[in-house]
Amino acid sequence: MPRWANDISHAYRYFTSGKETNRAGNAIVRFDPNDTEQMGEIIMRGLGFQPRRATEEWERRQAIKESGDYWDIRREILMRQFGEVVKNKGTQEEKDRVISGIKKFNDEVRNTPNRMKAISGDALKESMMQKLKIQQKEEAGIPREKSNIPIARDVEKYYPRGWPKGMVGAKPVQ
């Protein structure tokens, strides 16, 4: 669709529905065609200009998402590092280094509005238990999701695992 047609389509949607929406159809900014200033925003959108209120709201939402992602990624990295050290039976020095990083992270996060992102001992324990359960399932050839177990059993007949029972070495095909 040409750019000008896209702009007019947006303006028409603002006028008829009275809102700018996200992909899920939820209102981001509301427009009242009876309000002179908001009608001006609708007309300017038709001419190719983005309404200030819509731009500010999109930027606000993106900043919130990016801030949350920043803390989530840091938290996930530390939890994975701890999991790898424990799973691979790392040295005490390696464990102490990761725990020191977790304490530093917790100190940083407690001084922000993101206090809920702090890593607790329970969270580490739960993460480790989950990691070990997944490892056991994968090594046994069992899917992670229970709903996929019947599918795996059905596929097993076409792609059998390992050698047949009782077979120690490879024999030529006859």
Tens-digit pLDDT profile for residues 79-110? 999 988 988 888 899 999 999 999 999 999 98
Tens-digit pLDDT profile for residues 118-127? 999 898 889 8
Contact assessment for residue 63 and residue 89, using Cβ atoms and an 8 Å cutoff: no
pLDDT at 149 over 80: yes
pLDDT at 174 over 60: no
What pLDDT is stored for residue 141 in this prediction? 81
User: How far from chain centre, in Å, is Cα 64?
Assistant: 14
Give the pairing of strands 27-30 and 19-21.
antiparallel
**CA–CA separation, 157 and 42 (whole Å):** 61
Tens-digit pLDDT profile for residues 12-53? 999 999 999 999 999 999 999 999 999 999 999 999 999 999
Q: Model confidence at 158, in pLDDT bands (50, 70, 90)?
A: confident
pLDDT at 131 over 80: yes
Q: 3-class DSSP state for residue 25? A: coil
Q: Share the mean pLDDT of the chain.
A: 88
Q: 3-class DSSP state for residue 90? A: coil
Instruction: Give the other-Cβ count within 10 Å of 144's Cβ.
Output: 10
CA dihedral 39, 44, 47, 51 (to 10 degrees): -120
pLDDT at 164 over 70: no
**CA–CA separation, 70 and 82 (whole Å):** 19
pLDDT at 64 over 70: yes
**CA–CA separation, 28 and 37 (whole Å):** 18
Sequence ranges of the domains in the chain:
3-50, 63-119, 121-158
For tokens 């992270």, name the residue: 105
Q: What percent of the chain has pLDDT over 90?
A: 59
Q: Model confidence at 140, in pLDDT bands (50, 70, 90)?
A: confident
Number of H helices, E strands in the chain: 6, 2
